[in-house]
Amino acid sequence: MEDKNAPYALCTDSFGAQVWQATGVVSPSKIADWIQGFGFNKQANANSTDGVFRSQKLGKNFQPQGETALEKGWHYFSQLQAESGHWPGDYGGPLFLLPGLVFASHITQSAFADAEHELMKCYMLNHQNEDGGWGLHIQGGSTMFGTVLQYVALRLLGESANTPAMTKAGNWILQNGGATQIPSWGKFYLSVLGLYDWKGCNSLFPEMWLLPKWLPVHPAKYWCHTRMVYLPMAYCFSYKVVGEISPLIQEIRKEIYTEPFEKIDWAEARNQCAETDLYYPQRSLLKLLNKALNQYEKSPVKLWRKKAQEFMLEYIHAEDEQTNYINIGPVNQVINSICVWHAYGVNSIPFRKHRERWAEYLWLAEDGLKMQGYNGSQLWDTAFAYLALKESSTSSKFESVAKSALSFIDRTQVREEVNDHKQFFRHDSVGGWPFSTSPHGWPITDCTAEGLKIMLSAVEEGNYSKNELAERLKLSCNLLLSFQNTDGGWASYELTRGPKWLEWLNPSEVFGNIMIDYSYTECSSASLQALIKFNRIYPEYRSVEVKQAIQSGINYLLGQQKADGSWYGSWAVCFTYGTWFGCEGLCAYVQTEDVQNKEAMKNALIRAARFLISKQQSDGGWGESFESSVQKKYISTTRSQAVNTAWALLALLKINEHLPTAELQRSIAAGISFLASQQLPNGDFVQEHINGVFNHNCMISYTNYRNIFPLWALGRASLQQTSLSSKS
């Protein structure tokens, strides 16, 4: 690490694990001054620039190099690559994650170092909105969920209730009806802390795990993230787990409610949820079910309860072991930790293994120490960076960068089937690629697809022989085929297992589309692109099935296109992202020999181009607000955004390869010059708005996107010899 005086430094290993380690050069009392020296200012931009990591990695003597915007950009970005070959980066954004971890550490009396507590406080205080509250994510308007969670976490970390910031926060809570108005996940956390009564939570019905598996409501049918979050929640609910009711907890009880704690009508509070938070209100079916289950909860059948508890603990343990205690995501990492502490104690090996993984979810940036949405986005960022570098006229100058990235991608494939995966409702894994690291191991359709595409190109380029990889890549092909839904599309981690009406049971209030794993444009496009490539290189393997899968995948994609020519993107903001995937999928297919519906394809691409051109702004770029994802309609930002511009350009450049027109080329040229204008003198790009999303309503930061996608668009343009107006 170049900066020897930094109090924290990022350490990575060959799997891609990322841990910020203390170097001990600054005392905890000075640590806040140090981080404030980075000058984060939420009013200017709620998105930090990953300034701590980047400044450390580049070092003080970094000198930009390169003739063109493309070269300069790659020279800069290549310096950020870790020794393992992956690109580390800030994956923060949601504001309900760090409080969860603070709560787990408080309940289990497993404190972080003082300096870390200070840095966490900085983060939370930095993201307070002007009105005193906090959003669901860093750019969101204030919500009860965000505000109560930060308020309580800050109090537990020693912040007094009387500072101006805390007084303002307390007022926000009381003026909006008090903490009984917090949505259901908040009610859960507060109950475990002893700041709310379990009687004020709707039943999490632990016995649902004992239901016959063929029932559509069996949790095995749910989206895996929902399944894995409601599992430990139901465990805690079944035991009514509560941490120590300390004097501090008793004080906080007095601060967050509009009436004395003892007087609260808990049955009434169950279904309260602040207007500011409500994205998916409880449907009638859920209300009905809640009534029945709350009734049952008054005297649950003892034997069933015991059996359910045994099964839940066994399942939690299986998920812990299968993921090497990383867990599928940040929420079940926290709640599983609490369960394991409850079941086995603070000194048990399982609890200690959890505790060790907490650090991998933390990230330090100039806004403070945050909890990330995953244990990182290692594979995902690296796959895109690799593809972007390969598709540029400058790739030969960065061969060692590409080689190192390729070796990371190669190493990250899942090589062995997960133990007991069928017993615990998991789809096959072997042959797949995860989003972060191989020890995490949950494979995802589109991560698998990107991994497979890259390994296939590596075969084409002679980095590996066809035989050498045949077995592994055939496994990926098998996996992708097994992931295809009957609607022709691909979901995220598993097949769509349950009916659409299960969504009526979504109890979260703040997230949309969480109950089942739906087919997605992005996942489908990526999967079929990978199968097309696979079929070209290994035409002898399962050719009939592969071709059928491609054809039905294409029909799914065509069906997802909206009347205006766009595709909605579910995992990044928003229509520019979705439309890029739509176009990329169709164009990959157009190149094959089997195109059946040429006219339909051509029309779809023309409509997509027309849509994108209609959204181009006068500055030459494209800009979409995160409200596009929330409201499901295109909402522009006043100034264009480099990342949205890059997605639009990638789509238009692809279309231009097949259906070139003067209008397209004019639009592309304007977009490219906008992109080049967004580059900083050192080769980096400006940090703009938040660009990732999940479940429509919660945003998440993909900090490396600001480099990867602009460089990819510039690279694609460089190969098409569109004149680059950006000579520096």
- The catalytic residues are 446
How far apart CA 229 and CA 694 sit, in angstroms, is: 15
Residue 155, number of CB atoms within 10 A of its CB: 22
Helix (H/G/I), strand (E/B), else coil: 530? helix
Pair 196, 103: CB distance under 8 Å: no
435 binds ligand LAN (CB under 6 A): yes
Pair 519, 489: CB distance under 8 Å: yes
Decide whether 383 or 668 has the Cβ nearer to ligand LAN: 383
492 binds ligand LAN (CB under 6 A): yes
Residues 123, 134, 222, 374: which binds ligand LAN (CB under 6 A)? 374
**CA–CA–CA angle 233, 234, 236 (5° rounding):** 65
Residues 151, 518, 694, 705: which binds ligand LAN (CB under 6 A)? 694
How far apart CA 97 and CA 194 sit, in angstroms, is: 19
Residues 118, 446, 503, 517: which binds ligand LAN (CB under 6 A)? 446
Residues 9, 107, 406, 447: which binds ligand LAN (CB under 6 A)? 447
Site string for ligand LAN, 189-228 (x = CB under 6 A): ------------------------------------x---
Pair 533, 455: CB distance under 8 Å: no
Candidates 333, 290, 339; CA nearest to 311 is 339
How far apart CA 449 and CA 456 sit, in angstroms, is: 10
Decide whether 118 or 584 has the Cβ nearer to ligand LAN: 584
Tokens of 131: 């009105």
| Footprint of ligand LAN on 79-138 (CB under 6 A) | none
Q: Count of residues binding ligand LAN (CB under 6 A)?
A: 21
Decide whether 337 or 617 has the Cβ nearer to ligand LAN: 337
Minimum CB separation from ligand LAN for residue 291, in Å? 25
523 binds ligand LAN (CB under 6 A): yes
**Torsion sign over Cα 60, 66, 72, 78:** negative
695 binds ligand LAN (CB under 6 A): yes
Decide whether 166 or 229 has the Cβ nearer to ligand LAN: 229
511 binds ligand LAN (CB under 6 A): yes
574 binds ligand LAN (CB under 6 A): no
Tokens of 343: 């079941």
Minimum CB separation from ligand LAN for residue 235, in Å? 16
Candidates 619, 100, 22, 497; CA nearest to 334 is 100
329 binds ligand LAN (CB under 6 A): yes
- Give the CA dihedral 142, 147, 148, 153, nearest 10 degrees: 160
Minimum CB separation from ligand LAN for residue 210, in Å? 23
Residues 104, 201, 371, 444: which binds ligand LAN (CB under 6 A)? 444
Minimum CB separation from ligand LAN for residue 109, in Å? 25
| Footprint of ligand LAN on 385-414 (CB under 6 A) | none
Rg of the chain over Cα atoms, rounded to whole angstroms, equals: 25
Decide whether 373 or 621 has the Cβ nearer to ligand LAN: 373
Decide whether 68 or 202 has the Cβ nearer to ligand LAN: 202
How far apart CA 24 and CA 258 sit, in angstroms, is: 44
- Segment interacting with ligand LAN, rule: CB under 6 A, options 191-199, 325-333, 604-612, 644-652: 325-333
SS in 3 state form for 390-418? HCCCCHHHHHHHHHHHHHHHHHHCCCCCC
Site of interaction with ligand LAN (CB under 6 A): 225, 229, 329-331, 373-374, 380, 435, 444, 446-447, 492, 511, 514, 522-523, 571, 694-695, 700
